[in-house]
Amino acid sequence: MALFPCSVCGQRKPGKLAALYNAWFDGQQNRTAYRQRVCLECLQASFVELFKKELGRETDDHACLHCGGNANGNSDAVYCTLYLPKEEPREFALLFCGECSPVVKDAFKTGAEPLADRGVSVRGPSPTAPQWGSALGL
């Protein structure tokens, strides 16, 4: 039996759970991050489709992964790191339009535990780097 219940369905399944670290930024670049533990069935039912669509995305494709509409200029990203048991973590930057992102974020928050912002496990826009030039008076 898994040590923890699945965040989405709440059941304790035999074997291991995948872990999802999800993060996004609000308009002020404040980061919100959550961790979910997800069983195989819930991963397939709720998330895998998004990851597959993201993997198949062309570089100039700005379609919302949820509704398929053009999210160019009205986009919101969810940064996901997927830890499958015994596999290397995979990172995804999932693009959604402004209308879909609240719906999608709800799914990524289901049963999740909020994480303190340590800025390590999830990729995102880099934190403001110290300005060496101004510090050195250059």
Which residues contribute to the site for Zn ion (CB under 5 A)? 6, 8-9, 39, 42, 64, 66-67, 69, 97, 100
- Say if residues 97 and 71 touch (Cβ distance below 8 Å): yes
CB nearer to Zn ion: pick between 78 and 97: 97
Specify the pairing of strand 31-38 against strand 18-25.
antiparallel
CB 63 → Zn ion: shortest distance, Å? 8
The H-or-E segment that residue 79 falls in is strand 75-83
CB 117 → Zn ion: shortest distance, Å? 26
CB 27 → Zn ion: shortest distance, Å? 18
Specify the pairing of strand 18-25 against strand 113-115.
unpaired
CB nearer to Zn ion: pick between 19 and 39: 39
CB 1 → Zn ion: shortest distance, Å? 13
